[in-house]
């Protein structure tokens, strides 16, 4: 049986509860693609990308959380390995959604800056975890 630290168990439980928000995003996407909610082509593509990234990154983030339990990392590096992807799972979809909000928007607003920040968090998390697993 896999033994989780309390921190990993609690984090995983919270993250699993957030899946409901991703499901809500799916209902929103149905309204957009069926034309029940007005959106420009740009908005529809960014909303679709935000929804897809949220789902995939939450799954990857949960996997990273579990794999961190097999490392000897401690302190900040342990936190980064365990939650870096989960931080990116917030920042990146937020960048897609927030940068596309507004009636008739055809280009991203300044919230697009969240996309590279999310990418940086993801990269830092997976690199730290990969090194942690290889050196365990």
Q: For residue 26, tell me if it sits in a domain.
A: yes
pLDDT tens string 57-100: 999 999 999 999 999 999 999 999 999 999 999 999 999 999 99
Q: For residue 53, tell me if it sits in a domain.
A: yes
d(CA 114, CA 50): 12
> What pTM value is reported for the model?
0.92
State how far the alpha carbon of 31 is from the alpha carbons of 25, 54, 84, in Å.
10, 18, 32
Task: Decide if 72 contacts 135 (C-beta within 8 A).
Answer: yes
Q: For residue 121, tell me if it sits in a domain.
A: yes
Q: Which domain holds residue 41?
A: 6-134
Per the structure, the count of domains in the chain is 1
**Which DSSP string corresponds to the chain?**
-----HHHHHHHHHHHHHHHHHHHHHHHHHHHHTTSS---HHHHHHHHHHHHHHHHHHHHHHHHHHHHTTS---HHHHHHHHHHHHHHHHHHHHHHHHHH-STT--S--GGGGHHHHHHHHHHHHHHHHHHHHHT-
pLDDT tens string 2-41: 789 999 999 999 999 999 999 999 899 999 999 999 999 9
Q: For residue 1, tell me if it sits in a domain.
A: no
d(CA 32, CA 117): 27
pLDDT tens string 86-95: 999 999 999 9
Q: For residue 37, tell me if it sits in a domain.
A: yes
């Amino acid at each position: 049986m896999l033994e989780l630290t309390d921190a990993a168990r609690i984090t995983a439980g919270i993250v699993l509860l957030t899946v409901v928000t991703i499901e809500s995003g799916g209902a929103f996407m149905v309204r957009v693609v069926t034309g029940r909610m007005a959106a420009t082509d740009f908005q529809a593509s960014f909303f679709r990308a935000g929804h897809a990234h949220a789902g995939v990154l939450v799954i990857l983030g949960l996997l990273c959380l579990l794999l961190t339990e097999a490392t000897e990392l401690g302190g900040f590096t342990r936190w980064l390995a365990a939650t870096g992807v989960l931080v990116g799972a917030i920042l990146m979809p937020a960048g897609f959604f927030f940068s596309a909000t507004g009636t008739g928007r055809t280009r991203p607003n300044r919230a697009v800056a969240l996309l590279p920040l999310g990418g940086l968090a993801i990269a830092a998390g997976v690199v730290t975890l990969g090194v942690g697993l290889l050196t365990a």
